[in-house]
Structure 1
Amino acid sequence: MGNLSGKRVFITAAGQGIGNATAKALIEAGCDIYMHYFSDDSGAKELAALAVSLGQKAAYGQADLTDNEEAEKCTVAAAEFLGGIDILVNNAGGLVGRKWLGEIDRQFWQTVIDVNMTTMFNVTQSALPYLKQAREGASIINLASLAGRAGGHSGSLVYSTTKGAILTWTRSLAAELGQYGIRVNAVAPGLILGTKFHNVHTTKVSADETVRSIPLGRAGNAEDVARLIKFLASEYDGFISGATIDINGGVYRM
């Protein structure tokens, strides 16, 4: 496992939840960091202050990553501030809303695809020239979901479809970018409570029912996922690529 001290990280949706916990873990591991946020900069601002207090570089910027021009501008700003990109964490995404098959219209369909897939495409394509220049190889970590493995709860059909597509995107990208020393992996979290996603879209009754099915007997938290992403980030010079690592307390076993 590589030393993360001085590694240059660009992470999307770092304002709260898994993205915020991951950014904090990477800062504490010695990384310089550029944090994207969409609507609220308070979480990124707090972590930037932490990084500076530790003698590291940190900045943050706003963008609608579904827009190709905004995504490219944000990615270039990250690369210019950091002097390159060694590690890309594609964390942006969301359920958007719960709609059953008969309720899904074309606008909702496209919105969920854009939030979960177009964002990832836009950022990764924009970051590619910088990742290829990473001196010791680079690492891309994509946020998928247990929903992409097993299907989600009712009303998450489009979301689950996009998260399943991210698994294939990760495998294909690993094959395509390996020649440049770029490793590409995904993480697939299960029930991770305390995040905006579940605070908005998951009832306590539903969460309690899910927890009862988890062999470890508890839900996950953002720090659980952050530790896994930090490990994959440290594999910038390693041999893990094209993998999806499940983190769900044992409820889904491959």
Structure 2
Amino acid sequence: MFDLTGRRALVTGAGHGIGAAIAVALAEHGADVVVHHGRSADRAAAVVERIAGLGRRVLAVGGDVTDTAEVDRFVGEATQYLGGLDILVCNAGHLVGRVAVADMSDEHFARVTDVNLTATFRTVRAALPALRASGAGRVVTMASLAAHNGGGPGAVAYSAAKAGVIGLTKGLAKELAPDRITVNALAPGYIGDTDFHATFSTPERRAATVAALPVGRGGTAAEVAAAAVYLVSAEAGFVTGATVDIDGGASPR
């Protein structure tokens, strides 16, 4: 079992779904955690309660990841509360909506890029001083199967943004390696126990997606969280610039 005792973590978009699962998993392995949320304060409070029950220090912070001042504020609050920062998981992101290119406005494309790609850049930049001071910082970004296969109908902007997250991750890994900071991406596919697919895909499309998976089932948020725990562990110190696909064999390469 990976030991994260004494490690200090901030997870963005951790009020529900994959982010919540990652926050809880980090705490289960010994980390103290700040749970960031956008508009899910009530759900974040439930995550905080669960982590507190594990005996870990925990705090919820809200903030808009598309606003630089907000990001700087909540990263600062997290760092101050924890007394430093060793782990940053940039999970916050959103499909926003399915829109065909012919119908897509500049504003929609920019919004999707902002909340997925630029927000990741902002958050890493804000956390860099604390991660450098850690001496063994870990950053995990959130890509997607869509970055590899272009996504489903109406997801061109999302797939482009998530492909950008992979490029950002590789560039950061090189730039931050001298600071002993590793940077890796997770690329989930169909994770069936989150709101994402229920919100943006019909039941028929979800069933077809699962039927086409080589493993014959959808994934779980806990399985994504397990990969995150490994990437932030001491054992993964030689792993950086990688993208870990968690997609049931949907994108063999």
Contact 2:15 2:47 in 1 (8 A): no
Counterpart contact for 1:139–1:235, Cα < 8 Å:
no
Deviations 1:28-62 (A, max 9, x none): 11110111101122232122223333332100111
1:42-87 Cα offsets, whole Å, 9 max, x none, are 2321222233333321001110110000000000000000011100
Q: Which shifted more, 26-35 or 174-183?
A: 26-35
Shift of 1:150: 1.3
Aligned to 1:45: 45
Which residues in structure 2 correspond to 1:1-254 (within 5 Å)? Answer: 3-135=3-135, 137-235=136-234, 238-254=237-253
CA–CA distance in structure 1, aligned partners of residues 169 and 106 of structure 2: 26
Deviation at 1:2, TM superposition (A): 5.4
Query: 2:2·2:229 contact (CA, 8 Å) conserved in 1?
Result: no
| Contact 2:48–2:60 (CA under 8 A) maintained in structure 1 | yes
Deviations 1:211-244 (A, max 9, x none): 1111110011111111111111114761000000
* 1:9 partner letter: A
Alpha-carbon distance in 1 for matches of 2:140, 2:161:
16
Deviations 1:91-123 (A, max 9, x none): 000100000010111111111011101211111
Gaps of 5+ in 2: none
| TM score, norm. by length of structure 1 | 0.96
SS in 2 for 1:89: strand
CA deviation after TM superposition for structure 1 residue 207, in Å = 1.1
| Amino acid in structure 1 at the alignment position of 2:245 | D
1:88 aligns to what SS in structure 2? strand
Give the superposition deviation at 1:124: 0.6
State the alpha-carbon separation in 1 of the partners of residues 235 and 160 from structure 2. Answer: 29
Task: Decide whether the 8 Å contact of 1:20 with 1:43 is kept in 2.
Answer: no
Moved >6 Å (runs of 4+): none
- Out of 140-149 and 43-52, give the one that drifted further: 43-52
- Where 2:250 maps in the other structure, the secondary structure is coil
Does the 8 Å CA contact 2:13/2:92 hold for their aligned counterparts? yes
Structure 1: runs of 5 or more not aligned:
none
Q: How many residues align?
A: 253
Distance 2:250 2:236 in 1: 31
Looking at structure 2, the residues matched to 23 and 53 of structure 1 have their Cα atoms a distance apart, in angstroms, of 13
CA positional deviation for 1:128: 0.2
CA RMSD of aligned residues (A): 1.3
8 A Cα contact 1:90 1:120, kept in partner: yes
My pick for the range that moved more, 118-127 or 38-47, is 38-47
Measure the CA separation in 1 of the matches of 2:92 and 2:161. Answer: 12
